[in-house]
Chain A
Amino acid sequence: MKQQNIQLDENGKLRHFLTTEGLKRQLLVDILDHAENFTTVGHRSIKKIPLLRGSTIANLFFEPSTRTRTTFELAAKRLSADVLNININTSATTKGESLLDMLRNLEAMHCDMFVVRHARSGAAHFIARHVAPHIRVINAGDGSHAHPTQAMLDMFTIRRHKGEFADLRVAIVGDILHSRVARSQIHALTTLGVHEVRVIGPETLLPREVKNLGVHVHHDLRAGLTGVDVVIMLRLQRERMAGALIPSEHEYFELYGLTAEKLAFARPDAIVMHPGPINRGVEIDSEVADGPRSVILEQVSNGIAVRMAVMSIIMGNRFGGEGERE
């Protein structure tokens, strides 16, 4: 039996933001348009607008991530929401009961929105399915499944540099198998209608049926980068060696590390992105990471505006949906 899309409310508007998969193009474009407006807030003397004043947003981090938590926190605070940061030791909540107990407690504290980060795929869906109806959930990364706000800030960065999506060739390089960022990027890129998405890596780091996601597969970095407009490098987790997925960091860098020489195969105006934090000398050379074509730091600052956009859209939809037309 087909379940309805849990992300959407009865009017087809965004209720939770759990994945970029299965959302209409216009919905993603709205997020980018909103984010564009919110970028100006960071340039003012008081970096705050009162849109979510009186709302309480709880950052539920079952997996530590200072960077992501900080950008969500800043985004919420710039919207004047109150923020609760809750870091949860996962070993204490392996049983579903205690996780749900905790959600009930937070609901009793009149939270309006949960921002959830968890090491298990599907955790955000699980929480969204079990929260009280008035609570909204944003997925800040669940296992290897999805990291939709990261993908949207990447789309935002790409649009700022390249304008339209239609003619772009985008390459995603590295550990696609374990990457929630890559999955969300692939869904967002295909929905926004880019010309081609390529994934580049050894078979050991690619999901079994990755072609089903609408991408082209390359095992050779130089061939894969040829003619692309955007290069997205993924972080390589050190524990992948233990799983016999790659032989060594050294060999990985040899084959898939981005250097100036390999980047030369991409278009001359190609931009280089990385969701961070970077392993210099493992997936990317410092010369490229800090070079003129790198937009890595810009991604970080765009992250705040994109998260403000998602939070305000979702809370606005909760309040009544249709923003008044002019």
Chain B
Amino acid sequence: MKLCIHGGRIVDPANGVDKIAHLCIENERIVSVGEPAPDFSANRKIDASGLIVCPGLVDLQARLREPGQEHKGTIASETSAAAAGGITTLCCPPDTDPVTDTPAVANLIQELARSAGSAQVLPIGALTPGLSGKQISEMAVLSQAGCIAFSNADQPVVNTRVLRRAMEYAASHDLTLMLRPQDAWLSADGCVHEGAVSTRLGLPGIPEFAETLEVTRLLTLIEQTGARTHLGPLSTARAVQMIGRARFDGLPVSASITAHHLHLNEIDICDFNSQCHLRPPLRSQRDQEGLRRGLARGVIGAICSDHQPHDADAKLAPFAETEPGATGLETLLALSLRLTEQGVLTLPEVIAALSWQPAKILGIPAGTLSPGATANICIFDPQRYWRPGPATLTSHGQNSPVTGWELKGRVTHTLLAGRLVYALDE
């Protein structure tokens, strides 16, 4: 099988490429970027004129809901949504049911993803069995079973001694940790940022320092243990500053944010809009600006979808009783592209934050268009306007805080290992 993507603007930040060219694929690998070799005769051609051709996106955090919550989404349904969002690789947190704390669950997830065939799924293993925060899990075995990193999802590891051991153990086996910083006590019962909106609406708040306090604890442990740790998604400007200093000091720490936190803040909750019930919560406008600055300065390496599809009922209740999270796979690219129009990032920088930088954080050979690389490719029309909603989203979860927004930039084709897994107009 030979495929030629014809005349698109190739944007490959890893190789510093940004030019109009042809991209040739043979079987599952990229063979050339530029003029096709004289002996290359394509079986199939994709006309990409006016379109942008970039590496398939790498999403550091997306919940697929399987196993355990198949009424909200399945690996098949959500990887198909990933393909529609141009995402070819994604990591799923371990808070499945059963928890991803055994090779059996890790294998099951990968097996289901392979048979669905829409995206590469990398399970994140549980840092502690059952996410209980009491002991450390079999990280080496889980790693061999395909777990790309280790996390305790939204469950806290309250006991600092357990956390220290887990980090030391991960460091000794060169494993990556992915932790979301939030102090368990300060965030208990909270559902929104503690600030102007929690004051006005009488909703229990999560203070800014629930995040920064935990970042302080984690940075101290990273410094002591040397564990390679990814923190995210972040929600506060101060946490970004702290991580920026730690990176300057040479700590092995990276950070990510969600596309939603770049465009929304607590004010969007307005009169109890449960679609804006997110975790971490939407914070102040100042925080939102701080996150954008952190991204522009490179402190934050990756933008993730933090995809959390829900059934409709999950959002139909008084605000605090609704489940947090938003569907995000299919809006990730378009929301991130907004940053170019708003002057925060250039187009190659946006692509980098969505592909080769998260790949680097994970330590996987993805997110590039280098000849020889696996042909995971996203093609999108940067001029195409669309509105997220039931007519345009394929995810089981329709719970989006940006439903009805006019977004610019839409994926037209997605290739996974050289195979077309999504085509908008076909």
Contact = CB atoms under 8 A, between A and B. Distances in A.
Interface stretch (A104-112, A115-123, A273-281, A291-299): A115-123
Nearest to A211: B199
B202 A144 contact: yes
A209 interface: yes
Contacts of B201: 121-122, 145
A122 B203 CA distance: 8
A294 to B, nearest CB: 27
B317 interface: yes
A145 B195 contact: no
Interface stretch (A1-9, A32-40, A250-258): A1-9
Interface residues of B, number: 29
Interface string B309-322: 00001111111111
A213 B199 contact: yes
Interface string A12-28: 00000000010000000
Interface in B264-285: 270-274
A209 B196 contact: yes
A183 interface: yes
A177 to B, nearest CB: 9
A: contact size bracket? 20 to 34
A120 B200 contact: no
Nearest to A210: B199
Contact of A183 (B195, B202, B317): B202
A121 B319 contact: yes
Interface string B147-174: 0000000000000000000000000000
A208 B405 contact: no
B322 to A, nearest CB: 7
Interface string A219-258: 0000000000000000000000000000000000000000
A142 B203 CA distance: 10
A88 B314 CA distance: 20
Contact of A145 (B202, B270, B405): B202
Contacts of A178: 202
A142 B201 CA distance: 10
Contacts of A96: 313-317, 321-322
Q: Name which of B205, B271, B274, B314 has the most chain A CB atoms within 10 A of its CB.
A: B271
A121 B320 contact: yes
A37 to B, nearest CB: 31
Given A100-B316, A212-B196, A125 B271 contact: yes
Interface string A86-97: 000000001111
Interface string A120-153: 1111011000100000000000111110000000
A143 B199 contact: no
Interface string B201-226: 11111010000000000000000000
B273 A121 contact: no
A102 interface: no
A180 interface: yes
B196 A122 contact: no
Contact of A120 (B207, B313, B318, B404): B318
Interface string B294-338: 000000000000000000011111111110000000000000000
A143 B202 contact: yes
Nearest to A93: B317
A139 B394 CA distance: 38
A96 B313 CA distance: 6
B321 A120 contact: yes
B317 A143 contact: no
B194 interface: yes
Q: Name which of A96, A144, A207 has the most chain B CB atoms within 10 A of its CB.
A: A96
Interface of A: 1-3, 6, 21, 94-97, 99-100, 118, 120-123, 125-126, 130, 142-146, 178, 180, 183, 207-210, 212-213
Interface of B: 194-196, 198-205, 207, 270-274, 313-322, 404-405
30 contacts: A1-B405, A2-B270, A3-B273, A21-B200, A95-B317, A96-B316, A96-B317, A96-B321, A97-B316, A99-B316, A118-B318, A120-B318, A120-B319, A120-B320, A120-B321, A121-B272, A121-B318, A122-B271, A122-B318, A122-B320, A123-B318, A125-B271, A130-B316, A143-B320, A183-B200, A208-B195, A208-B205, A209-B195, A210-B199, A212-B196
Q: Which 9 A-B pairs have the closest CB atoms?
A: A144-B202, A96-B316, A122-B272, A96-B317, A145-B202, A120-B318, A207-B199, A123-B318, A122-B319
